[in-house]
Each structure stands twice: as C-alpha cells, then as structure tokens.
Amino acid sequence: MLSVVVFLPVVVALALAALPATNSSRRFTVPWVLTGLVQLILVVVLWLGLPTSGYGFVEHVAWIPSAGISYHLGVDGISLPLVAMTIVVFTAAAVYSLREERRPKSYVMLFLALQAASVGVFVALDLILFFLFFDLSIVFMYFVIAGWGLGGRARSAALTFFLYTFLGSLALLLGFILIYLAATPHTFDIPALAAQNPLAAGGPVAGAALLAIGLGLAVKTPLVPFHTWLPPAHTEAPAAGSAVLAGVLLKMGTYGFVRIAMPVLPASWRQFAGVVVVLGVISVVYGALVALAQTDLKRMIAYTSVNHMGYVLLGVGAAGLVAQSDAQARQLATTGAVTQMVSHGLITGALFLLAGALHERGRTYDMGAYGGLAARTPRFAGLFAVAAFASLGLPGFSGFIAEFQIFTGALGATPVATAIAVVGILITAGLFLVALSRMLLGELRYPDAPGTPRPFPDLRARELAATVPLLLLATVIGVVPRFLLDLVEPASRVVNELVAR
C-alpha cells in the first residue's frame, strides 16, 4: 500500500515518457493532477486505518542484508500528516501548472519524480532509504530550478542550492554511519535503532553523530546561519517549484529531527537541547527581522520560512529539556512542532503560488511596484490577505494551533528563549501588514509593460483551484484541529517517551 502511494507518480511518469513531447500541456498536467488525487484517496484510506500505536502499513523487505540495509516503509501519526500535506501541496502545484507552456513533458515528469521522492522521505524507516529519497529530492529540485527558473541567475541559484544542500546531506550520511557502527548488530533500521538506543551513554561519538545529523538537517531546514541558499533558490524558482521547496522540502529537515535525531540519539538530544532551543530562537528572530527588510515578495516569504522553522526547533528543543518541564508541556511542544510543519507547508505553499500569480501579471516580485490591488483584483487581495494573516499566526488558522502549543509547552522549560521567540509573531505581523498595505491598499499601481498598459486580471479559476484548498485546509486545522491532533498526539507521546528514557 505505501509502496503504491510512493511509486504511483513514478509509474505515471514512465507512462508519460512514452508520449511524444508536444506543447499541449494538458496531456501531461492533467495526469499529474489525477495522480495527486488518487494518492490523496489512498492517504485518506491510510488515515482511517492507522493503528493507534506504532507504525502502520509497514513494508519490510531485505535489501542489502550484508550492510544492514532494508527496504522498510511505515507511517505513524507524525509522518502521515506530512505525507498528506506533501501530496496536497504537490497537487495544488499541479493545478497551478495546468497551463505550463515551457517543455511541459519534462516539467511534469520531473515533478512526478520529485513527488515520489518527497513522499518516500516521510515513509522511509531505514536510514539509507531516507538518505536516498532525501538526496533524490535535491537532485530533482535542482533541475526544476535550473530548467524552469524565472530569473537570469536561475542556474547559479540552482547550483548553489544543490551544492549547499548536498554538502549537508553528506554530513547526514556521516552521522548515519556513526550510528550504524555504534549499533550491535549493525543496522540502519530506524525503529530497531530507536529500540536499541546504541548511544544511550552519550559521549563524544554520540555527540559527533548528533552534530553531523544536526548539521545535515539544519542546512535543509534551514537554520540560521545555514539558510542563505534559500532566498536565491526561491527567487529564481518557478512558482510551483517554490511552493514545493518551501512547503515540502524544508520539512524533510525538521522531520529528520523528530524521526531520527530525537528517538535514536536521546541522550545527546537531552544534552544539547539547549543548543537546539537557542538555534531555533535565533532563526525565529533573525528570519523575521531580515524578512521585514525585504522589498522582494518572494524573498520576504522565503525568510518567513526561516522564522517559522525556528518555532519548530524551539518546540523540539524544549521537548528535550526533560528536567525542566512535565510530560504535558513537552507533549504540547512536540505536537505543536509537528503541527507547525503541516501548517507551514499549506500556508507557505499558498503564499508562493499567489506570488507566482502576481508575477505572471506584473512580471516582477518587487512589492513597491504594486499598490491598491484590493480595488482592482479583490479575489487576489482577499486570498493574499487570508494567507498573510494565516502566516502571521492568527487564530482561526493552523499556524496559531501550532505556535500556541509550542510557546505554551516551551515556556516552562525555557522562559527567556520563549519570551524572545514570541516577539517573532509580532515582527511577522508587522512585515505582513506592511506588505499588505503596500500592495493591496492605497492608490492603484502596477507595472506597465513597455509602451502599453498591461491587462491585470483577477485570479483565474485555475489559480483559485490551486490556492483556495490550501488555505481552506489551514482554516479547517485552525478551527477544528482535533482530527489532526488525534493523530499527532499519540505519536509525539511516543517520541517524547523515547527522548526521556
């Protein structure tokens, strides 16, 4: 079942490969959308059938037994929401790209491959399998940015992205090997390693393993100061690529902390939880402040991603401060962190697609070039305002459910850091309100094409169909979060117990 969910896009991509490469994009994009919808149906089945404890829908086949590597898939309450979010974001990107005109065949095939790799990361229960999917996602994203980038520096930004994150993944591999060597019998199997806890005593090897893994994941997340690949990659990437990059690929980093670093290296996690908290808070405040200074819409959203991922680190770091807080507080912090991953994927995906729609009309991301759009394009203005308010953590949207739990759970363990991090939601409020005032309010203003006024229509059905479901889901989670939290809470309790042992 899980293999079907993971590899369905690959099968579809191979089938599409047989078609001749024409410019009629629908022939390729429609199957992509349908693939996502089928995957979503399968995810609903998984959701309904997930066992209340442990991993569900496990597939375990020996792969390279001599090296302790197996093809091991499974989902729990932490990975399934991320799988669902991944497919939703990809499907939204597919709907948005329905009329992609530039080499639609390779575009769709590349995205389908990326989709398979992304889902694969979240269901892999073997470190090497995880690493494989993790790296493949980097490779495919490189081609998306380099091949379909909008700006003149797309290739250079893509190369920076690739080298930077690839370097990070090498550190990750090094950490995996250290854990492998410490385990007896040697294995890369995540549940087995979590049960065995090979580095329970802590010490320098465990610290080195956490450092290597942490470095690899910090680059992908990205945490300050390893974030600088993110803004150029986003600025140059096509809208659908940005939505997937921010919505899905960043989560691979934070997911790695919850799935691998916390359960497999609990002793070191507890030892260095304070460092994690500090890194998280720095990302929160730094990301928000630098975003505040941006005039380019996409760069601004990119930096808010740094800010939002900082909250996740604050949450998982506070969950490691076992001595300072009770089980309920740690439970809130971890659950909030997982909720934040899902929430950020949906909201930032929508923001980037809306930014893409704006670029299609005005050919620039410079916020100063636009003004008074509320009067001209009310649908765009309304949706952008909703997405902005969702992103700044307004109650009623998923971000609040996440951030409230993180703050409330973390305050007892680390009051000063949390008090500093809370300021982040004020700065994001400020930067989004400034952006809204600039672009939506005041006198009508948008860039003219050379010589003639540009048509500047409101959002079309395709763009609405891509963004409205994302924001609707963020609202549903914000208003009735139990359906999600019922799934996340048991799984995060397991993680917390593994950390605290």
Q: How many residues bind another protein (CB under 8 A)?
A: 58
> Which helix (H) or strand (E) is 186 found in, with range?
none
Q: Nearest CA to 356 among 498, 227, 243, 215?
A: 243
By the rule CB under 8 A, 317 interacts with another protein: no
> Which residues inside 249-268 make contact with another protein, applying CB under 8 A?
none
φ/ψ (deg, to 5) at 63: -125, -65
Which residue from 136, 441, 464, 498 is in contact with another protein, where contact means CB under 8 A? 441
Inter-CA distances, 418 with 303, 343, 414, Å: 20, 20, 6
Which residue from 22, 52, 53, 437 is in contact with another protein, where contact means CB under 8 A? 437
Select the span of 75-83, 108-116, 407-415, 459-467 touching another protein (CB under 8 A): 407-415
Q: For residue 50, give both structure tokens.
A: 């997930």
Sequential DSSP letters for 75-111: E-TTHHHHHHHHHHHHHHHHHHTTT--SSHHHHHHHH
By the rule CB under 8 A, 411 interacts with another protein: yes
By the rule CB under 8 A, 446 interacts with another protein: no
Using DSSP, state whether 64 is helix, strand or coil. strand
By the rule CB under 8 A, 354 interacts with another protein: no
> Which residues inside 269-298 make contact with another protein, applying CB under 8 A?
286, 289-290, 292-294
CB nearer to another protein: pick between 207 and 382:
382
> Which helix (H) or strand (E) is 298 found in, with range?
helix 297-320
Using DSSP, state whether 297 is helix, strand or coil. helix
By the rule CB under 8 A, 408 interacts with another protein: yes
Percent helix, strand, coil in the chain (nearest 5)? 75, 5, 20
Which residue from 357, 481, 487, 499 is in contact with another protein, where contact means CB under 8 A? 481
Nearest distance from residue 78's CB to another protein, in Å? 14
By the rule CB under 8 A, 455 interacts with another protein: no
Contact between 2 and 59 (Cβ < 8 Å): yes
Q: Nearest CA to 79 among 102, 56, 110?
A: 56
Quickly list H helices, 149-229. Answer: 154-182, 190-196, 203-220
By the rule CB under 8 A, 467 interacts with another protein: no
Give ∠ CA 146-150-155 in degrees, rounded to 5: 25
Select the span of 66-74, 106-114, 138-146, 412-420 touching another protein (CB under 8 A): 412-420
By the rule CB under 8 A, 410 interacts with another protein: yes
By the rule CB under 8 A, 17 interacts with another protein: no
Instruction: Print the binding letters for residues 36-75 with another protein: x by CB under 8 A, - otherwise.
Output: ----------------------------------------
**Binding site residues, another protein, CB under 8 A:** 160, 163-164, 225, 228-229, 231-232, 286, 289-290, 292-294, 325, 328-329, 331-332, 335, 372, 374-375, 385, 389, 394-396, 400, 404-405, 407-412, 415, 418-419, 422-423, 425-427, 429-430, 433-434, 437, 440-443, 481-482, 485, 489
